[in-house]
Structure 1
């Protein structure tokens, strides 16, 4: 087996956010030959003890690194996140390694997609970086609406917020943007809280990607999609969080909020500064539900329109967030007690999006993409690529009934 540079082991552990004690416990290494697990791992990282391939496989899994990474001669440079638009209070230190791993994965997938599109002589999309903050949020809203053919009445006619998001996502993907739903690295142990990471925009002119954290409330997905789309429009890719303290983040929030709740509609919200918070919350909830948007979006617009004080806005934001977390916890408990769960291929289809699935289906059929690379692009095992594509191509009404049922800004 090729030699492994000790500094690679240290780098992989530290960038994954583990201390020596934590890594030794979770690998697990175990005590042996008079040495503690911590001492054994320290010896490996110092180059004083041999490391087996089986242990490297465990490290690759725990540290979220490809196995081949451990055979590099030296640690690679830190991956490029683009600009990090999150403010310091948003940071969850334990989530940062997971966010880095997620971004590495998405960038690798984007690189392969870009290569496929370059082979097809795909032309740059004119809207990526086509406008600037100086144009103002209303101009960007109007341009996005025009290019994607958005119709507010159709959006609000959808039966639920998730259906409304799906309709909006389809229009965004139709103009050439790949939209993924990713909120973990494949297990609930690696779920990334929306308070640490809300969305990501990779502003490539040929293969622009948007990632939405699906750990967030479904009512927030449409807002996040439009927020990240605004990032693409001004050519400012990067990571976004829940707060908008910076100029660019506030601009993208204004674009998304005005898109979903224009001024004439905002004027119909029947609240004033003299009302108590409970009455405001009740009216906002009814208004938001009717328009398939989040309550947090409504109160943000009211605050920006000077119809809510900053103190009331923050109090309501905390209230809505706490209520959502409670509902989510209750739903998870009910799901654990229920039999079955969502069909694997249904979940994958929803997370991957139609645009990426269609690209893979076409290029796989043409022979320009292998099943192994197709799996990497889609984020699934190679053996699941063809079954997934077949499942997506099968009309919903003819799918086997034996499949398990799917039981703020």
Structure 2
């Protein structure tokens, strides 16, 4: 039971509120009823059978874990992270079968790169694939629009992109960006990128391209694609370099940068590259225009400024369910499920589960919003 609450990320205050007899259950002075045990298992998102094991089960992250705290891998994953990965794996499996049945070809850039490849060259390939050169970005009014456009372009290249800040549709289970920012599930036929939507949009655009770099490497990975802290993991370093170069080419920055990392200059460059000011600041550091300590301080200051703008209402708000949910699912995935269901290939109850819906009316509304392929 102690394992269950730690796995669920409960604090002592949460334990006292949601399981007031918890201590008595632990020391044996009281025993939970079956109903209390069922409620406890449901609340901690733990299968009730696991509570009867002689010792807690080992639940490793089911994909390579590239996150580090210092030089060590992060310890026990949360149930929210595990459930998110399992859900994406299930959806990827369905889509792989769908793609195979419909004769989709393997995606040629999956596994096309190696760590020994120059990140600048790979970044150029990424921009060309996505039609995301600097001049291509002029059609976007801001980097926030560029984020939405980037999702569409990655999906058009054959990669499922899922952006969600909660577990499924459960608004009570918010994902923690401090635990992970994203992951890639690599498959030659159905590669998938998941981006933690609870993170700032400034971080999401970088994470998205970082995870796409993992797809190029052909290796699934759970990542902490951080802009402001170093990593000793070779693959994470390489993917960070590819993402940064793809978004803000250094050769162009050296010409465009005016030498003063003021807010006005960061904003000007952010408009040029259609990325956040935080990404621009990172590239100024990469170009050795700033020393590490100065960069760290400026990054912290800029992050506070950006967060203050968000709290003041700029870019805030969850939006309509039928606008947000397709991004959680991947439009490409949702459209395939809807099409296959309407054609009789997938049963409606299975489609509801895949799409995270419970009512037929919700399914119908998604059909109207997304359409069929």
Compute the TM-score of the two structures, normalised by the length of structure 1: 0.77
The CA deviation string for residues 264-308 of structure 1, in whole angstroms up to 9 with x for no partner, is 320234343xx5xxx533311221133211112112222222121
* Higher gyration radius (CA): 1
Is 1:360 the counterpart of 2:337? The answer is yes
Aligned residue number for residue 25 of structure 1: 16
Is 1:102 the counterpart of 2:93? The answer is no
Aligned residue number for residue 365 of structure 2: 387
Q: Tell me the secondary structure at the aligned position of residue 267 of structure 1.
A: helix
Q: Tell me the secondary structure at the aligned position of residue 184 of structure 2.
A: strand
Name the count of aligned residue pairs: 362
The CA deviation string for residues 291-347 of structure 1, in whole angstroms up to 9 with x for no partner, is 211112112222222121112211111112122222333339986xxxxx7322112
Structure 2: runs of 5 or more not aligned? none
Bigger mean CA deviation after superposition, 103-112 or 295-304: 103-112
Instruction: Give the Cα separation in 2 of the matches to 1:159 and 1:113.
Output: 33
8 Å CA contact retained: 1:113, 1:377: no
Instruction: Give the Cα separation in 2 of the matches to 1:244 and 1:193.
Output: 20
Aligned residue number for residue 211 of structure 2: 228
The 1:214/1:385 distance shift into structure 2, 3 A limit, reads: same
Q: Tell me the secondary structure at the aligned position of residue 268 of structure 1.
A: helix
Is 1:292 the counterpart of 2:279? The answer is no
How far does residue 137 in structure 1 lie from its aligned partner after superposition? 0.7
The CA deviation string for residues 198-222 of structure 1, in whole angstroms up to 9 with x for no partner, is 1111112222111112222223332
Aligned residue number for residue 258 of structure 1: 245
Return the match for 1:203 from 159, 170, 186: 186
Is 1:116 the counterpart of 2:98? The answer is yes
8 Å CA contact retained: 2:60, 2:76: no
Is 1:217 the counterpart of 2:200? The answer is yes
Bigger mean CA deviation after superposition, 97-106 or 221-230: 97-106
Aligned residue number for residue 194 of structure 1: 177
Bigger mean CA deviation after superposition, 227-236 or 96-105: 96-105
The 1:128/1:312 distance shift into structure 2, 3 A limit, reads: same
Structure 1: runs of 5 or more not aligned? 1-8, 31-35, 336-340, 395-409
8 Å CA contact retained: 2:140, 2:146: yes
The CA deviation string for residues 360-399 of structure 1, in whole angstroms up to 9 with x for no partner, is 12211222222232233223335322321222239xxxxx
The 1:191/1:148 distance shift into structure 2, 3 A limit, reads: same
Is 1:137 the counterpart of 2:119? The answer is yes
The CA deviation string for residues 140-197 of structure 1, in whole angstroms up to 9 with x for no partner, is 1233234334343232321122221122211110121110111222455432343332
What pairs up with 1:84-99 in 2 under 5 angstroms?
84-88=65-69, 96-99=78-81
Return the match for 1:159 from 141, 152, 161: 141
8 Å CA contact retained: 1:17, 1:94: no
What pairs up with 1:280-319 in 2 under 5 angstroms?
280-319=262-301
Instruction: Give the Cα separation in 2 of the matches to 1:283 and 1:149.
Output: 26
8 Å CA contact retained: 2:254, 2:287: no
Aligned residue number for residue 38 of structure 1: 23
8 Å CA contact retained: 1:374, 1:382: no
Aligned residue number for residue 399 of structure 1: none
Bigger mean CA deviation after superposition, 238-247 or 94-103: 94-103
How far does residue 231 in structure 1 lie from its aligned partner after superposition? 0.6
Aligned residue number for residue 401 of structure 1: none
The 1:357/1:270 distance shift into structure 2, 3 A limit, reads: same
Q: Tell me the secondary structure at the aligned position of residue 212 of structure 1.
A: strand
The 1:11/1:332 distance shift into structure 2, 3 A limit, reads: farther
How far does residue 79 in structure 1 lie from its aligned partner after superposition? 4.7
The 1:154/1:355 distance shift into structure 2, 3 A limit, reads: same
The CA deviation string for residues 240-263 of structure 1, in whole angstroms up to 9 with x for no partner, is 212441222121111111111113
8 Å CA contact retained: 1:161, 1:292: yes
The 1:237/1:326 distance shift into structure 2, 3 A limit, reads: same
Return the match for 1:70 from 40, 45, 48: 48
8 Å CA contact retained: 1:372, 1:382: no
